């Protein structure tokens, strides 16, 4: 008798917790990143100027910042991208960024970011690792 009652008590306690955890995980996964870079692809070989495309949502003015960093983390190119959507809505962005790489082909990173209108700090950032040529 105890096995049956203990088993039912276990099911009443564990199943709701598991269901809640599953629903939370599903909700988290269904929320898209605020900034998604679609091009260039990860580990792509890029030359200057590089075309950067994606989908994003900016906090203010529908503008995102973009920068190119070399293997040492130094900023070697910078610019802005416009989101083609109503203010505050999610939409596509694209633009070309010019950069100067010294020392030949090397690993690098392209970062697309949004800044806080209050203090100018980066509040959302997406990046892709590339090879700078």
CATH of 35-132, one of 2.170.120.20, 2.60.40.2550, 3.10.450.50, 1.10.287.130: 2.60.40.2550
Rounded CA-CA distance 18/26 in Å is 12
Which residues in 40-74 are b (16+ Cβ under 10 Å) and which e?
beeeeebeeebebebbbbbbeebebbbbbbbeeee
Rounded CA-CA distance 35/45 in Å is 22
pLDDT at 27: 63
Residue 13 has pLDDT above 90, yes or no: no
Consecutive H or E run containing 107:
strand 106-115
pLDDT at 114: 95
Query: Within 10 A of 122 (CB to CB), how many other CB atoms are there?
Result: 11
Average pLDDT over residues 113-122: 92
pTM tops 0.85, yes or no: no
């Amino acid at each position: 008798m105890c096995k049956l009652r203990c088993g039912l008590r276990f099911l009443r306690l564990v199943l709701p917790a598991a269901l809640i955890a599953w629903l939370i995980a599903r909700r988290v996964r269904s929320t898209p990143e605020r900034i998604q870079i679609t091009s260039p692809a990860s580990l792509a070989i890029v030359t200057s100027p590089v075309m950067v495309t994606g989908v994003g949502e900016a906090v203010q003015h529908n503008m995102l910042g973009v920068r190119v960093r070399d293997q040492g983390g130094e900023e070697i190119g910078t610019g802005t991208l416009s989101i083609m959507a109503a203010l505050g809505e999610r939409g596509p962005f694209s633009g070309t960024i010019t950069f100067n790489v010294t020392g030949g082909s090397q690993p690098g990173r392209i970062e697309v970011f949004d800044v806080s209108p209050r203090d100018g700090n980066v509040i959302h950032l997406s990046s892709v690792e590339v090879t700078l040529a």
